[in-house]
Amino acid sequence: MIGGSWVYGSFSTWVGDRDKNRGWDMLTDAKQAFDQTVTHGSLDAEQIVAAELQLSICEGSDWFWWFGDYNPADSVSDFEALFRLHLANLYGLLNVEPPEYLGHTFARGSGNPSMGGTMRQGQSLD
């Protein structure tokens, strides 16, 4: 088995671009807040289950697919805003104030809309 995306055969689908890396930083902050809150015992069992579900939504790899300049701005804008909303929802479930940066756009996109944001064109290995 080879590690990486079926699209490019590497991890570039999810990491390496400035916006993708920023998304990972934001997710890391949220995961640390989750771990600290659960460790301190400030949530009951039902609240933990709800927070775990929300965390799993935030951890979906598709969010990172959309971040990057090669995707159309409209698509990036929609997915980026949803990602930030899901992170903010997680903080809410943890009863932790969300970071101020979640109120600001961090990815914009500038790719060709005719591709629909689904894939970059293949390139010759020559």
Residue 88 domain flag: yes
Residue 121 domain flag: no
pLDDT at 95: 98
Write down the pTM of the prediction.
Answer: 0.82
Residue 60 domain flag: yes
Residue 125 domain flag: no
Structural domain count, the chain? 1
pLDDT confidence band for 122 (50 / 70 / 90):
low
Provide the residue range defining the domain that includes 64.
18-109
Helix (H, G, I), strand (E, B) or coil at 24: helix
pLDDT at 73: 80
Residue 44 domain flag: yes
Residue 104 domain flag: yes
pLDDT at 12 over 90: no
If one compares 8 and 40, the residue with the highest pLDDT of the two is 40
Could you count the other beta carbons within 10 Å of the beta carbon of residue 19?
Answer: 20
pLDDT at 121 over 90: no
Helix (H, G, I), strand (E, B) or coil at 83: helix
Cβ-count burial of 121 within 10 angstroms (0-12 exposed, 13-18 middle, 19+ buried)? exposed
pLDDT confidence band for 88 (50 / 70 / 90):
very high
pLDDT at 113: 57
pLDDT confidence band for 110 (50 / 70 / 90):
confident
Measure the CA–CA gap between 58 and 69, rounded to whole angstroms.
21
pLDDT at 39: 97
Residue 2 domain flag: no
Residue 114 domain flag: no
